[in-house]
Structure 1
Amino acid sequence: MVNTLAEPTLVAANEILLGNGRSRRFQGSDHGAGVSYFYVDNQPGQGAQLHWHPYAETWVVLEGDVTFVVGDEQIVATAGDTVTGPAYVPHKFTNTGTGTMRLIGIHASAVIIQTVID
């Protein structure tokens, strides 16, 4: 039997930075992985605009306070909490705390597919 597993790789943070900040975008397909993620580092009032994906998304709050809107639900989460959003349901989040908010947004896809809602 042939081993088809990819070799382990290290992806340095500076290789996947978004813009000038500390947030990052990891596209799994670029690295032989079946999942993708955003590492988000936001200040108070910052967040993501309303959008949806054709797959589920899971957020792990690493630091701070964040308010998610997932469909008609508003969910307030803090460090250590995990929030999930189903496929095709519009969602967004905002740092509603007084300090830095950090989270990981895990995409159940090797490719990030995102449709922004105006």
Structure 2
Amino acid sequence: MVETLAVPTLVEPDEIRLGSGRSRRFQGSEHGAGISYFYIDNQPGQGASLHWHPYPETWVVLEGEATFVVGDQQIHATAGDTVTGPAYVPHKFTNTGTGTMRLIGIHASAVIIQTNLDPSSSSGTE
């Protein structure tokens, strides 16, 4: 059996940008990676609507403040904090600070699988 070595890949922000903003969606399977992520850049009041994934998700707050709802728990997090959410548990977050909130939502999957629970939300935008 011959092993194939993985090739390092650089993915520039414009390649994975969501819409016209600064947020990005990295789908690991498209780049030879075993994880996926959302890089979120939100203004006060913005965030993700209620949804769930069939795998755990981990968020790292890079800047600002966010309030997460994970199941029946509400968690206030600030820059430097890490929040975790188990598989199949509905969750959402909102920028509850006064400035820009930036976070990384790490998906324990090479493919992002998301079930939105708010009918007005758009699919796959975290």
Q: Same fold (TM over 0.5)?
A: yes
**Structure 2 unmatched runs, 5+:** 119-126
SS of the residue 1:105 aligns to = strand
How many residue pairs match? The answer is: 118
Q: Which residue of 2 aligns with 1:83?
A: 83
Q: Does 1:61 align with 2:61?
A: yes
User: Deviation of residue 27 (structure 1)?
Assistant: 0.1
Report the TM-score, using the length of structure 2 for normalisation: 0.92
Residue equivalent to 2:110: 110
Runs of 4+ in 1 over 3 A off after TM superposition: none
Farther-moved stretch of structure 1 (51-60 vs 4-13): 4-13
65-74 or 4-13, larger mean C-alpha shift: 4-13
Cα deviations by residue, 1:67-114 (Å, 9 ceiling, x for unpaired): 000000000000000000000000000000000000000000000000
What is the letter of the counterpart of residue 40 of structure 1? I
RMSD value, Cα: 0.8
Q: How far apart in 2 are the matches of 1:62 and 1:55?
A: 22
Of all paired residues, the percent bearing the same amino acid is 85
CA deviations over 1:24-65 (Å, ceiling 9, x no partner): 000000000000000000000000000000000000000000
1:5 & 1:44 partners in 2: Cα distance? 44
Q: Which amino acid aligns with 1:9?
A: T
Query: How far is 1:14 from its partner?
Result: 0.5
Within the alignment, does 1:21 sit opposite 2:21 as a pair?
yes
1:4 and 1:109 mapped to 2: Cα distance? 21
